[in-house]
Chains A and B, each alone.
Chain A
Amino acid sequence: MVKWGMVIDLDRCAACQACSFGCAQENNCPFSLAAETRKGILMGWHQVLTTTEGSYPYPTQKFLPMPCQHCGNAPCVRACPVRATYKRADGITMQDPTRCIGCRLCLVACPYGVRAFNWFDYKKRWPEPLDQSINPTSMPVRPKGVAEKCLFNFHRLDRLKRDLEEGTVPRIVARSLGGKYTPGVEPSDEVWSEAVDILMRYFYYHQATPEDFEPHSVGYLPACVQNCATKARAFGDLSNGNSLAAELARSPRAFHLLEEIGTRPAVTYLKEG
C-alpha cells in the first residue's frame, strides 16, 4: 500500500518561495489582491511562514514552508459533513470541489491553516490573455463557495501511473525498474512507488545528461519538489523503507508539526544546522 509523503530539509531551504509560486502556477491557484490579503485570504496551496525571535545583535528568524501535511489522522476529514474531503488509498487528503457545501468546518478544523476557500467566482481573476496560462492538465479553477487545498499533485502521480501502463514513461524509469515493469498492464503499487522514487533520486542527486534525459520526466513529481532549486524537498512512498523520502524521514533531525495533537502528518521536516 503506497503512502505518499514529503520531507522538507529546513537546512537546505533558502526561503525563496519558489515552491509557493510553482504550486500556484501548476494548480491554478488564483492570486489575491491587497484588500483580500488583509483579510488573510491567500489562495495559494503553499505558503512560507516566518517567525522572528530575539533581538539585535543576536536575533533568529525561522522560515517554514507549509504544504498540506496530509495527516494520517486528518481533522479536516473528520469535520467534513459531506465527505468532500477524504483520504485516498495512497494517503493523499483529497478535496472534491463538486461535493463541498462550503461550511468551512475544514478550514476551522485544520491546525495548520493550509486550506483555502473560494470566496467568489475566481474564474474572473485571470484577465485576457493571462488566462492563457491556466493549466488544463491539473485541477480546473474551483467554483465559488467551496474549499480547496494542496493535493500533493495527485494528477501528476496518477499521470505517472497511466504512463507506466501505456509504456510512455521516461527511459530512466523503465530501465531502472527493469524486470519488475511490463508496459501494457496496470502497474502495481510497488512499481508505482518505485517509479516515483527513481525520478526523485534522479533529480535529487544527479546532473541530468543528454543521453538519459527526456523533458517530460519533469512532469511527474509534485511541482514544489520539482522546482526546488536547493533540493530541500524529497517526495516518495513512506511505506517503502528504501525510498529517498523514507530514508530522509528517518534522519535524527526529523520532526513533525504539532505531533502532540496526534494528526500524524505525512510531511516531515528536518531541523536546521
Chain B
Amino acid sequence: MKQTRRDFMKVTGGAVTAYSILSLTGCLEKSSPGPGFDGPLEEKYFPNVCLQCPGGCGILVRTVNGRAVKIEGNPLYPSNQGGTCPKGQLGLQILYDPDRIKGPMQQMGERGDPNGFRPISWGAAIDVLVTRLREIRANGEPHTLVFMGGRYRGQMHGVFGRFLESFGTPNDVGHSSICEDGSPQAHWLAQGWKSYAAYDWKNSEYVICFGGEFIEAWRPTASLLRAWGQMRRGRMGTRTKFVQVEPRFSVTASKADEWLPVNPGTDAALALGLAHVIVREELYDKKFIEEHGFGFDDWTDEHGQAHRGFKDFVLREWSPEKAGEISGIPAGKIEKIAREFAAKAPHCIAAGARGTSMQSNGVFTRFAIHALNGLVGSIDSKGGILRQNGPPLAGWPEVFKDDTARTGFAQGRVDYAGTKRFPMAKKVYQDIADRILEGKPYPVNVLLCYYTNPLFSSPDIGRWYEAIKKVPFVATFSPFMDETSAHADLILPDSTYLERWTDDVIYPSLGYPVVGLRHPVVKPVFDTRNATDVLIEVARKMGGTVGRTFPWKDAEEMLKSRYQGIFEARKGSFVADTFEAWWEKFCAQGVWTAPPYPYAHEHPDQWPRVLVHDEKDKAGKEPGKFQFYSLHLKHKLEHLAEDAAEETRRPVEAEFESMLTDLKVTARGDELYLPHYEPVRRVGDSAEFPLVFITYKTMALAEGRGANAPLALERFVVQTREKWAASAQMNPETAARYGLEENDEIWIESTLGKIRTTLKLVPHHPDVVAMPFGLGHREYGRWAKNLGVNPNSIIVNEHDHLGGLAAWFSTRVKVYKA
C-alpha cells in the first residue's frame, strides 16, 4: 500500500516538474529582449530625396544587407534639416508595396478589364508605344498626342518637354491647374514672374496665412514644419504670431494664435479690409512704394488718360465694416490684425495657398492678399516673401524638329490655355476630359500619363470615365495600378524614387538654390524602369530628329551633363577640381546648396530679378515695379482682344467686353486691374444646397498617391482620430440643425450626385462641410482599394477662367441622414 502511495506522488510530482522545467528552460537561456544584432549585418546609409510629395526633402535611407529598413531626414539638406514629415517615413511602404505593378503590362481585353492585362517584356512594351507614336506622326497629327504629367521633379519635366517638342505636340499638360496655380499668377500680376514664391519664414515675425494648411498639406511640408518650430521657439525672445484665415478649423487653425473663420471664398474682401486700415492709418511702407511701387496712387498713362490707384480704391470702397460684412470677420478684429501686421513690417508675410487661390475668384483673391506684402514692403525683405533662385545648371542641348514636328508644335493647345478663354493659364488639366469628349479643338489620339491620375484627382471624375474610352491609345508610367492605369492599354511602370536616378531642384521655399540627387538605394524590387530611361529609349527607337534630341544613353548621363554647370560655377556648399570628384561628393552628400539668399532690400541689384519689367509696360521704368495696378494683366487682355478683333473684324471694345463676359469677371475699368474682390461663384441653388463643400489633404497622405501605405491609413486623420476612414466633418450646431449627430451615416449630395460617408463633428465655419481627400480609390492595392469615398466624384468642374484654375470650393451640397 505504501508502495502505491509513493508511486502516486511520483507520477503527479513528475508531471508538474516536467511541465515547469520545459517552459522555464525556454526563457532562462534568452531572458533578455535580444536587440537582434546577432548575425553579420552590413549597414549602409544612402542619401536620397523624398518623393512622397513634390516638396523634395533630403533623406538618408538606412539599408541592412541590401534591404532598406529605415528612412531618416538628411541633416545636410537645408529645407528639412534632418527632419521628415510622416509621409517621408512611409517611403518603405511605397517601395515594398506588395501591390505595385510588377512589370510592363499590355491590356489584351476590353479597356479597363482587370483580368485583361498581360505582362510583356520591356522591349515589346516600348515597341508597342513607338509604333503608336510613329503612326500619328505618319498621319501628320503629332499634336494629337497629349501628355499629362504629375510629380516630375528636377530634369524630368525638361526631358519630357524636349520629347514632346521634338515629337511635335504643344500638349504638355502639367497638373498645377488643379493644384495651386493661382499663387504664381498673382505673383505675375504684381511682380511679373509666374511661379511659387519662397518665404523667409524663419525670420518672419507675423504671418497671416490665407487658406494654406501650413502644418498639414502645404509645401514643402517638412520645410514648413521646420519653419513652424523655428517661428514658435527657434529664436530668443521672438515668437512669430500666426494668424490662420480659413473656414475649416484645421490643425493649423487650432495651432495658430488666431483663427479667422472667414466666409468661404471671401478672403479678398478681408485682405482689402486689412489694406484699407493699413492705408488709412498710413502704416504702409512709403519708401518701398515710392521706389518700387506702381499704381498705388492715381496715375495718368501716356495717352493722358487718368487711372485710379489702389490707395483711392481701398480707401473709398473697402472700409473694415464692409469687409467684415462680406467676410464675416468683425471690423474691430480686422483693424487689430491690420495694425499688428503692419507693426512688424517688413518682417511679416501675407501668404495664401490653395484654399484661396483655387476658387472661382482665385487669381484676384491672391492678388489682393499679395498686395498686402507690397503695402508693408515685405517684398524680398528679411522675413518677407522672396523669389526662389534656380541652380546654375548647364543649358540643354538643342531640340531638333522636322517639319511634322514644327507644324504640330505650332498648333494651338488642346486645352485652350493662354487663349482668350483662359488668358493667364499655362495649362488647363481639368478640362482635358471635356476636350476629349467634344473632340475639339481636335481629337486626342494618344494619351500619356506620368505619375498623375486624372481618373481620381480631377473634379467631376465621372467625365473622365467617359472620356478615357474615347482615346484610342492610353499609356501610363505609373508604379501603381491607379485608376488611370487600370483603364490604359499599356503600362510602363516607373521605379520608385528609392530605385532610380533622378535629381530634384528644390520646391520654392528657401530662396537660395538647392538641388538634391536620387540614386538607387536598392535594386528595383520589381521589373520596373526609370521613366526617363524609358523615354530616352523610346526617342532613340523613334530615331530621326526625335532621336537626335536625346544625346544621352540614360538618366544618369543626362543628369551629369546638366550638373556640369554647377560644377563649373565653382561655388556653393562644395566645389571640386574635376567634375568626377564633384559628382562623387554630390552622390555622397545627396545635396548641393548655395546660401545665402541675397535680399533685394540689401542687394539693390536684385530688384530686376524680383520685380520683372514687362517690356510691353510703357509706363514702367527700369527696373520693374510692384504693380498694385497690374499692367501685366492689362496688356495681356488688351492684346488678346486685339487679336480676336483682327479675326472677327469686330471693334476691339466689343471683343474685350465679350471676352470679360466669357471670363465671368464682374469688375470693369481700372478696378479690373486692381486687387479687388470678385464675388465667388458656386454651382447649385443655395436654397436647395445650403452648404459649401470643401476638401483638404491630411498630413498622412499627399493627394491620392501612395494611398496603399497601411501605416498612413491607420492614422489617417489626426484631428478626429480616425483610422482607416475619412469622414465628412461639420459644425455641431449646423449638424444639429439638420438633425444629424456624430458618427451618423450621411449622404452628401451636389448637383452631380451623392456620396455616402459618416459624419464627424468639428467646430468648422457653420456653412461648410469639410472632407479629407485621398481615400476612395477603386484600384491601387489591397489596402487602399474601395476604402472610403472620393469626394471628387461630386465636385463640379467650375473655373477661375482668367487663370484656368479648377475652382475646387465652388460646389454647393446638402447633407442628410442615410
- CB closest chain-A residue, reference B47: A215
| Residue among B33, B36, B234, B711 with max Cβ neighbours from chain A (10 Å) | B33
- CB closest chain-A residue, reference B711: A31
Query: Bound state CA distance, A128 and B67, in angstroms?
Result: 13
Inter-chain contact B229/A229, CB cutoff 8 Å = yes
Q: Annotate B516-538 by CB proximity to A: 1 below 8 A, 0 otherwise.
A: 00000000010000000000000
Known: A56-B731, A135-B69, A229-B229. 16 other contacts (CB 8 A): A12-B233, A16-B225, A22-B84, A24-B89, A34-B725, A48-B718, A50-B719, A52-B763, A56-B261, A94-B33, A98-B33, A133-B92, A138-B36, A207-B78, A207-B81, A208-B81
Query: Bound state CA distance, A32 and B125, in angstroms?
Result: 38
* B696 interface residue (CB < 8 Å to A): no
* A261 interface residue (CB < 8 Å to B): no
Inter-chain contact A139/B33, CB cutoff 8 Å = yes
Q: Which of B5-13, B24-32, B798-806 contacts A (4 or more CB under 8 A)?
A: B24-32
- CB closest chain-B residue, reference A33: B724
A-B pair number, CB within 8 angstroms: 244
Inter-chain contact B43/A37, CB cutoff 8 Å = no
Inter-chain contact B251/A228, CB cutoff 8 Å = no
Inter-chain contact A26/B70, CB cutoff 8 Å = yes
Inter-chain contact A16/B35, CB cutoff 8 Å = no
Question: Nearest-CB distance from B770 to chain A (Å)?
Answer: 13
Query: Bound state CA distance, A176 and B65, in angstroms?
Result: 32
Q: Which of A99, A134, A219, A228 contacts B83 (CB 8 A)?
A: A228
Inter-chain contact B47/A32, CB cutoff 8 Å = no
Inter-chain contact A56/B249, CB cutoff 8 Å = yes
- CB closest chain-A residue, reference B231: A12
Q: Annotate B229-262 by CB proximity to A: 1 below 8 A, 0 otherwise.
A: 1001110000000000000010100110101010
Inter-chain contact B254/A59, CB cutoff 8 Å = yes
* A25 interface residue (CB < 8 Å to B): yes
Q: Which A residues are CB-close (under 8 A) to B26?
A: 98
| B contact residues vs A (CB 8 Å cutoff) | 26-27, 30-37, 41, 43, 45, 47, 60, 62, 64-65, 67-73, 75-76, 78, 80-86, 88-90, 92-93, 95-98, 215-216, 221-222, 225-226, 228-229, 232-234, 249, 251, 254-255, 257, 259, 261, 525, 573-574, 585, 589, 699-700, 710-715, 718-721, 723-725, 731-733, 762-766
Q: Which B residues are CB-close (under 8 A) to A9?
A: 229, 233
Inter-chain contact B711/A24, CB cutoff 8 Å = yes
Q: Which A residues are CB-close (under 8 A) to B36?
A: 136-140, 155
Inter-chain contact B574/A20, CB cutoff 8 Å = no
**Which chain A residues in 31-49 approach chain B with CB under 8 Å?**
31-34, 37-38, 42, 44, 48-49
Known: A17-B699, A130-B97. A56 touches B573 (CB 8 A): no
Question: Nearest-CB distance from B140 to chain A (Å)?
Answer: 46
Query: Bound state CA distance, A219 and B69, in angstroms?
Result: 12
* A236 interface residue (CB < 8 Å to B): no
Query: Bound state CA distance, A96 and B249, in angstroms?
Result: 43
Q: Which A residues are CB-close (under 8 A) to B226?
A: 229-231
Inter-chain contact B83/A227, CB cutoff 8 Å = yes
Q: Which A residues are CB-close (under 8 A) to B78?
A: 207
Inter-chain contact A21/B73, CB cutoff 8 Å = no
Query: Bound state CA distance, A273 and B239, in angstroms?
Result: 9
Inter-chain contact A129/B68, CB cutoff 8 Å = no
* A247 interface residue (CB < 8 Å to B): no
Inter-chain contact A130/B96, CB cutoff 8 Å = yes
Question: Nearest-CB distance from A151 to chain B (Å)?
Answer: 8
Inter-chain contact B765/A128, CB cutoff 8 Å = no
Inter-chain contact B75/A17, CB cutoff 8 Å = no
Question: Nearest-CB distance from B319 to chain A (Å)?
Answer: 22
Query: Bound state CA distance, A123 and B802, in angstroms?
Result: 56
Question: Nearest-CB distance from B602 to chain A (Å)?
Answer: 21
- CB closest chain-B residue, reference A12: B229
Inter-chain contact A96/B45, CB cutoff 8 Å = no
Known: A15-B718, A56-B763. A210 touches B69 (CB 8 A): no
Q: Which of B71, B96, B261, B733 contacts A129 (CB 8 A)?
A: B96
Q: Which A residues are CB-close (under 8 A) to B733?
A: 55-56
Give 17 A-B contacts (CB < 8 Å), ordered by A residue.
A12-B229, A17-B718, A20-B86, A21-B89, A21-B711, A21-B715, A33-B710, A56-B731, A57-B261, A99-B31, A136-B36, A155-B35, A208-B81, A213-B76, A215-B60, A216-B45, A229-B229
Query: Bound state CA distance, A60 and B732, in angstroms?
Result: 14
Inter-chain contact B45/A218, CB cutoff 8 Å = yes
Known: A207-B78, A210-B573, A229-B222. A25 touches B71 (CB 8 A): yes
Question: Nearest-CB distance from B238 to chain A (Å)?
Answer: 13
Known: A18-B88, A216-B45. A208 touches B69 (CB 8 A): no
Query: Bound state CA distance, A32 and B573, in angstroms?
Result: 44
Known: A54-B763, A158-B35, A203-B75. A37 touches B723 (CB 8 A): yes
Inter-chain contact A231/B229, CB cutoff 8 Å = yes
Q: Which B residues are CB-close (under 8 A) to A34?
A: 723-725
Inter-chain contact B35/A22, CB cutoff 8 Å = no
Query: Bound state CA distance, A34 and B90, in angstroms?
Result: 18
Q: Which A residues are CB-close (under 8 A) to B721?
A: 49-50
**Which chain A residues in 178-203 approach chain B with CB under 8 Å?**
203
Q: Which of B98, B259, B700, B719 contacts A130 (CB 8 A)?
A: B98
Query: Bound state CA distance, A229 and B228, in angstroms?
Result: 9
Question: Nearest-CB distance from A270 to chain B (Å)?
Answer: 8
Inter-chain contact A230/B64, CB cutoff 8 Å = no
Inter-chain contact B719/A61, CB cutoff 8 Å = yes
Known: A24-B711, A218-B72. A18 touches B83 (CB 8 A): yes
Q: Which A residues are CB-close (under 8 A) to B89?
A: 18, 21-22, 24-25, 227
Inter-chain contact A137/B711, CB cutoff 8 Å = no
Inter-chain contact A230/B229, CB cutoff 8 Å = yes
Inter-chain contact B731/A17, CB cutoff 8 Å = no
**Which chain A residues in 94-114 approach chain B with CB under 8 Å?**
94-99
Question: Nearest-CB distance from A172 to chain B (Å)?
Answer: 11
* A268 interface residue (CB < 8 Å to B): no
Q: Annotate A209-242 by CB proximity to B: 1 below 8 A, 0 otherwise.
A: 1100101101100010011111110000000000
* A14 interface residue (CB < 8 Å to B): yes
Q: Which A residues are CB-close (under 8 A) to B715?
A: 17, 20-21, 44, 48
Q: Which B residues are CB-close (under 8 A) to A94?
A: 33
Question: Nearest-CB distance from B176 to chain A (Å)?
Answer: 24
Question: Nearest-CB distance from B12 to chain A (Å)?
Answer: 23
Inter-chain contact B90/A14, CB cutoff 8 Å = no
Query: Bound state CA distance, A63 and B718, in angstroms?
Result: 9
